Structure 1
Amino acid sequence: MALVEVTVIPLGTGSTSLSSFVAGCVRVLEQAEDVKYQLTPMGTVLEGDLPRLMELVRQMHEQPFLAGATRVSTTIRIDDRRDKEGTMQGKVASVETKLITPGGTD
C-alpha cells in the first residue's frame, strides 16, 4: 500500500480564492471508494494501491481545467514502503508513540 501526498494548484483563475477548485478535486476522491484520503490545509494525502492513486492524481489534476483554470501545477510525493504495510494512521501513531516513549523503534 502506498501513500501519496498531492497538491493541485490552479493558476490563471482570475481569483485568489481556490477552495472551489479544491472541492472539485475532493469530489474525485469521494467517488473512489477503494481509496482513503485526508484533506489537509496544504494538500491531500491518499492511501491505497499505487497505480490507482496515480490515476486519481491524474483526474484531480484535470479538475481545475474543467472548472476554467488555464494552467495547473501539481506536486506529488510518494511513500511506497514494501517491507511492511504503511498507512496514514500508522505513520502518525508511530510518531505519537515516540513522543510518549522516546527512543522507541519501528
Structure 2
Amino acid sequence: MALVEVTIVPLGSESTSLSSYVADVHKVLEREKGLKHMLTPMGTIIEGDLDLIFSTIKQMHESVFENGAMRVSTSIKIDDRRDKVGSMKQKIESVESKLK
C-alpha cells in the first residue's frame, strides 16, 4: 500500500483563492471508493494501491482544466514501503508515541 502526497495548483487563474479548485479535486477523489485520503492545508494525502492512485491523480489534474485553468502544476511525493504495511494512521501514531 502506498502513501502519496499530491498538490495540484492552477497557474494564472483569475483569483488567488484556490479553495473551489481544491473542492472540485476532492469530489473526484471521493468518487474513488478504493482509496483513503486526508486533506491538509498544503495538499492531500492518499492511501491505497499505487496504480489506482495514479489514475485518480490524473482525473484530479484534469478536473482543474475542466474548471477553467489554462495551466496546472501537479506535484507528487510517493512513500511506497514494501517491508511492512503502513498507513496514514500508523505513521502518525508512530510519531506521537515518540513524543510521550
TM bucket (normalised to shorter chain) is: over 0.9
String of CA shifts for 1:74-102, please: whole Å, max 9, x gaps: 000000000101100000000011111xx
Question: CA RMSD, aligned part only?
Answer: 0.6
Percent identity between matched residues is 59
Cα distance in 1 for residues equivalent to 2:68 and 2:12: 9
Give the number of aligned pairs.
Answer: 100
TM-score by length of structure 2 reads 0.98
Cα distance in 1 for residues equivalent to 2:25 and 2:82: 28
Query: Is the aligned partner of 1:56 residue 2:56?
Result: yes
TM-score by length of structure 1 reads 0.92
Q: Is the partner of 2:61 in helix, strand or coil?
A: helix
- For residues 56-95 of structure 1, the aligned pairs below 5 Å read 56-95=56-95
- For residues 23-62 of structure 1, the aligned pairs below 5 Å read 23-62=23-62
Largest Rg, 1 or 2 = 1
User: Which consecutive aligned stretches of 4+ in structure 1 deviate over 4 angstroms post-superposition?
Assistant: none
Q: Is the partner of 2:73 in helix, strand or coil?
A: strand
What stretches of structure 2 of length at least 5 have no aligned partner?
none
Cα distance in 2 for residues equivalent to 1:86 and 1:28: 24
String of CA shifts for 1:1-60, please: whole Å, max 9, x gaps: 000000000012111111110011000111011100000010000000000001111111
Match of 1:99 in 2: 99
Cα distance in 1 for residues equivalent to 2:64 and 2:12: 10
